[in-house]
Amino acid sequence: MPELPEVEVTRRSFADRIAGARIVSAAMGKPLRWPLGMAAEALAGRQVLAVRRRGKYLLLDLSEGLLLIHLGMSGSLRFAGPDEPALGEAGKHDHFDLQTTRGLLRLHDPRRFGAVVYVPSQQDALARKLLDHLGMEPLESSFTFEAFREGLAASRTPIKQLLLSGSVVVGVGNIYASEVLFIAGIAPTMPAREVRPRKLRALHEAIRVVLAQAVEQGGTTLRDFSAANGMEGHFQLQAKVYGRDGLPCTQCGSPIQLLRQGQRSTFYCARCQKA
Beta strand ranges found along the chain (DSSP E): 23-28, 48-54, 57-62, 66-70, 76-80, 94-100, 103-108, 115-119, 257-261, 264-268
Residue 233 pLDDT: 44
Residue 173 pLDDT: 87
Catalytic annotation present for 35: no
Paired strand residues for 143: none
Paired strand residues for 23: 100
Residue 215 pLDDT: 86
Distance of CA 130 to the CA centre of its chain: 14
Among candidate residues 17, 56, 102, 244, the one labeled active-site is 56
Catalytic annotation present for 264: yes
- The candidate with the shortest Cα–Cα distance to 275, out of 158, 196, 162, 182, is 196
For residue 2, count CB atoms less than 10 angstroms from its CB and return exposed for 0-12, middle for 13-18, buried for 19 or more. buried
Q: What share of the chain is helix, strand, coil (3-state, %, to 5)?
A: 30, 25, 45
The model carries a pTM of: 0.89
Catalytic annotation present for 274: no
Catalytic annotation present for 5: no
- The candidate with the shortest Cα–Cα distance to 33, out of 9, 66, 68, is 68
Among candidate residues 2, 5, 138, 188, the one labeled active-site is 2
Give every residue of the chain whose pLDDT is below 50, as ranges. Answer: 221-223, 225-228, 232-234
Which of left, alpha, beta for 143 (phi over 0: left; psi -120 to 50: alpha)?
A: beta
pLDDT in tens, 138-153: 999 999 999 999 999 9
Residue 227 pLDDT: 47
Residue 89 pLDDT: 87
Residue 237 pLDDT: 52
pLDDT in tens, 184-223: 999 999 999 999 999 999 999 999 999 988 888 766 544 4
